[in-house]
Amino acid sequence: MRKALVLAALFLPSTVQAATDPLPSWNDTAPKKAIVAFVEKAKAIPAEQRIATFDNDGTLWAEQPLYFQFLFALDRVKAMAPSHPEWKDQEPFASLLKGDVKAALAQGEKAILTIVMTTHAGMTVDEFDKTVADWLATARHPVTKRPYTEMVYQPMLELLAYLRANGFKTFIVSGGGVEFMRVFAEKVYGVPPEQVIGSSGKLKFEMTAGKPVIVKLPEVDFIDDKEGKPVGIQKSIGRRPIAAFGNSDGDLQMLQWTGAGSGSRFCLFVHHTDAAREWAYDIKSPIGALEQGLVEAKAKGWTVVDMKSDWKKIFPFGSKDAAR
């Protein structure tokens, strides 16, 4: 009987919780109302179909002044430089080591690929994991001086938890590297490695001194951006999401694919409009450009979050300016 009483008591918090706001960092504006209305409707959808996909950079965490993974790569170049004296005279490394990121990037896509491959390949997946974990533990964001894992959007953390509490399986579908994101996604977002989809390099299984290892090769395998996002979803999930969340034109095809399914659907763009508390950018930004997405959101009635007016709080620690 005691067991029964304990169980009965367990019912009380849930009653209390029902009265608690699951999205306290969201203002009571249209986006929050649309989310809550959709989640209520989704209760009628079989649980296994409640798949929600989230972009990462600019949707779950910030992406300014540069993609954080690229800042990781730049730090790695510096850390690896002592073993590579030849980089002094070799671009794009020479410019990077002089601190001139702009000059390095001005050399175009090939330079970026060189930087990424040099820092993300030629090691086992376990070694790479450790490198990323060490970096995340010590590196600080150049503007806020906060750990990168704190540069996440509090309203989106609440949204992830709210969806999961309502039977959704939450996935990350990002242009970022899958092995980079998996190092922190479970702890920071509650999204396990097997629910993280991203860009990736080729891998090779081999025996080293009688021990099996998986090595990261310096060759692109899959780019999980634009048309790649619905393809990545099909490859890894094999089921069309019923809800998708992004912030840039790179997410447009994911939202199109999600929105075109039958039954209740939910598509949302986060619009970066708050220069003081976060950053303000869209059409002309070299990072996270959002143009066609806004046009299509309007035409199709998708939800657009105006960060400035729809979010009460941006980061768990507050706002960018407060941190400085």
Minimum CB separation of residue 207 from a copy of itself in Å reads: 8
For a copy of itself, the closer of residues 18 and 89 by Cβ is 18
Cβ-contact 54, 245 below 8 angstroms:
yes
Minimum CB separation of residue 79 from a copy of itself in Å reads: 24
142-163 as b/e: b if 16+ CB within 10 A: eebebebbebbbbbbbbbbebb
For a copy of itself, the closer of residues 111 and 181 by Cβ is 181
Minimum CB separation of residue 70 from a copy of itself in Å reads: 21
For a copy of itself, the closer of residues 149 and 319 by Cβ is 149
Query: What are the backbone dihedrals phi and psi of residue 61, each rounded to the nearest 5 degrees, phi first?
Result: -135, 170
For a copy of itself, the closer of residues 211 and 284 by Cβ is 211
DSSP annotation of 89 reads: G
**Footprint of a copy of itself (CB under 8 A):** 1, 3-5, 7-8, 11, 48, 51, 125, 169, 178-179, 182, 186, 192-196, 200, 203-207, 211-212, 214, 221, 227-228, 230-231, 234-239, 253, 256-257, 260
CA distance 101 to 64: 14
For a copy of itself, the closer of residues 94 and 220 by Cβ is 220
**230 three-state secondary structure:** helix
- Hey, what are 141's tokens? 């964001």
Minimum CB separation of residue 260 from a copy of itself in Å reads: 5
Long-range contact pairs involving 63-68 (C-beta distance under 8 Å, separation at least 24): 63/287, 63/288, 64/143, 64/278, 64/279, 64/281, 64/287, 64/288, 65/142, 65/143, 66/101, 66/287, 67/176, 67/287, 68/141, 68/148, 68/151
Minimum CB separation of residue 301 from a copy of itself in Å reads: 16
For a copy of itself, the closer of residues 151 and 178 by Cβ is 178
Long-range contact pairs involving 19-22 (C-beta distance under 8 Å, separation at least 24): 22/158, 22/161, 22/162, 22/165
Minimum CB separation of residue 186 from a copy of itself in Å reads: 7
User: What pairing do the DSSP bridges indicate for beta strands 211-222 and 196-208?
Assistant: antiparallel
For a copy of itself, the closer of residues 118 and 256 by Cβ is 256
Minimum CB separation of residue 291 from a copy of itself in Å reads: 18
CA distance 59 to 288: 10
**Angle at which helices 68-80 and 109-120 pack, to 10 degrees?**
70
For a copy of itself, the closer of residues 74 and 213 by Cβ is 213
CA distance 54 to 305: 14
Minimum CB separation of residue 80 from a copy of itself in Å reads: 23
